[in-house]
């Protein structure tokens, strides 16, 4: 029987993690890429600290949350000798910029110069440097956040002068399709956008990360060049409530 915090649940998480890691490595090799080029960010939203601790015991160090408030207590509880890297993958409200800078190492959801400027100011005040990714809206869904691809270069240029933050790449959250293969064009497009930014500003940007792919479609994302995959339910199990 599975209990969320019991022995069976623990074994399940460890097995799931091993399985996801193996699938990432297989997808990378099949695409002629190094498995090490793909970072696994374990998405822990809605899951308790006990579940995260099991993943840490299995060697996982990169974790992602999608809400600043929910993340705060978990990050503080898990603070310890292990070097964990915390990623914010959900929308950031500008009034939470300071807290986000305090808590996170990588923020995947920057989508405007204004938000980047707020974060930059907070990071300067805290004396911290945070890695950021620009979230790109490729699906044009009302409920989703992200920058319009047509605005990307202007946003990148606007962020370039900001201190305390470092722009490292792009992120996208495509629409959900039953058939994962239908997501591929969104991943291809994100890679092409990164390549085109690099060619517009040769040698200046150093964008190296593509954050794309979730439980449902990460192998396709890896084939298309993902360097960070954000995986929750394949590791921790189904979430009991929408988030
Ligand atoms: C929840 C979430 C994920 C992980 O989704 P799974 O389907 O559970 O793997 C990835 N990215 C973002 C932005 C999320 O909110």
pTM of the model: 0.95
Question: What's the 92 CA to ligand 1 centre distance in angstroms?
Answer: 15
216 lines ligand 1 (CB under 6 A): yes
What's the pLDDT tens digit per position in 178-187? 999 999 999 9
What's the pLDDT tens digit per position in 200-221? 999 999 999 999 999 999 999 9
Q: How far is C-alpha 52 from the geometric centre of its chain's CA atoms?
A: 16
Mean pLDDT of 9-28: 95
Residue nearest to atom 12 of ligand 1 (CA): 89
- Give the torsion sign (CA, 145, 91, 213, 135): positive
Determine the Cα angle at 119 with ends 228 and 197, to 5°. Answer: 50
What's the pLDDT tens digit per position in 77-97? 999 888 999 999 999 999 999
Q: Rounded to an integer, what distance in angstroms lies between the CA atom of residue 65 and that of residue 87?
A: 6
Over 90: is that where the pLDDT of 195 sits? Answer: yes
Q: What confidence score (pLDDT) does residue 241 get?
A: 65
Q: Rounded to an integer, what distance in angstroms lies between the CA atom of residue 77 and that of residue 143?
A: 32
Mutate to test the pocket of ligand 1, among 65, 232, 233 (most ligand atoms within 8 A of CB): 232
61 lines ligand 1 (CB under 6 A): no
Over 50: is that where the pLDDT of 58 sits? Answer: yes
Q: What confidence score (pLDDT) does residue 1 get?
A: 42
Write down the mean pLDDT value for the chain.
94
Over 60: is that where the pLDDT of 6 sits? Answer: no
What's the pLDDT tens digit per position in 111-169? 999 999 999 999 999 999 999 999 999 987 665 689 999 999 999 999 999 999 999 99
Question: What's the 161 CA to ligand 1 centre distance in angstroms?
Answer: 31
88 lines ligand 1 (CB under 6 A): no
Burial of 161 (0-12, 13-18, 19+ CB in 10 A): exposed
Q: How far is C-alpha 167 from the geometric centre of its chain's CA atoms?
A: 14
Atom of ligand 1 nearest to the CA of 233: 8
Q: Rounded to an integer, what distance in angstroms lies between the CA atom of residue 54 and that of residue 60?
A: 9
Write the secondary structure of 223-237 as one string of H (helix), E (strand) and C (coil).
HCCCCEEEECHHHHC
Mean pLDDT of 98-110: 98
As a whole-number percent, the residues of the chain with pLDDT over 70 amount to 94
pLDDT category at 2 given cuts 50, 70, 90 is very low
Mean pLDDT of 17-43: 98
Strands (E), the chain: 39-43, 62-65, 85-88, 106-110, 130-136, 165-172, 209-211, 228-231
Question: What's the 231 CA to ligand 1 centre distance in angstroms?
Answer: 6
Residue nearest to atom 6 of ligand 1 (CA): 232
Mean pLDDT of 170-174: 96
CA count, 13 A, side-chain hemisphere, 148 = 4
Q: What confidence score (pLDDT) does residue 139 get?
A: 83
């Amino acid at each position: 029987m599975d209990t969320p915090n019991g022995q069976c649940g623990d074994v399940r998480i460890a097995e799931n993690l091993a399985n996801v890691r193996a699938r990432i490595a297989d997808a990378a090799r099949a695409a002629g890429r190094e498995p090490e080029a793909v970072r696994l960010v374990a998405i822990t939203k809605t899951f308790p600290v006990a579940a995260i601790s099991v993943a840490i015991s299995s060697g996982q160090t990169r974790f992602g949350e999608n809400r600043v408030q929910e993340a705060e207590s978990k990050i503080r509880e898990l603070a310890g000798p292990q070097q964990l890297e915390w990623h914010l993958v959900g929308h950031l409200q500008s009034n939470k910029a300071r807290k986000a800078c305090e808590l996170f190492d990588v923020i995947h959801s920057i989508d405007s110069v204004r938000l980047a400027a707020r974060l930059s100011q907070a990071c300067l005040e805290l004396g911290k440097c945070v890695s950021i990714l620009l979230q790109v809206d490729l699906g044009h869904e009302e409920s989703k956040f992200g920058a319009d691809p047509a605005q990307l270069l202007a946003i990148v240029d606007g962020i370039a002068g900001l201190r305390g933050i470092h722009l490292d790449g792009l992120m996208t959250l495509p629409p959900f399709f039953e058939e994962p293969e239908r997501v591929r064009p969104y991943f291809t497009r994100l890679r092409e956008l990164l390549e085109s930014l690099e060619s517009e500003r040769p040698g200046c940007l150093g964008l190296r990360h593509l954050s794309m792919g979730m439980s449902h479609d990460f192998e396709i994302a890896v084939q298309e060049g993902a360097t960070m995959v954000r995986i929750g339910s394949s590791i921790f199990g189904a979430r009991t409530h929408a988030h």
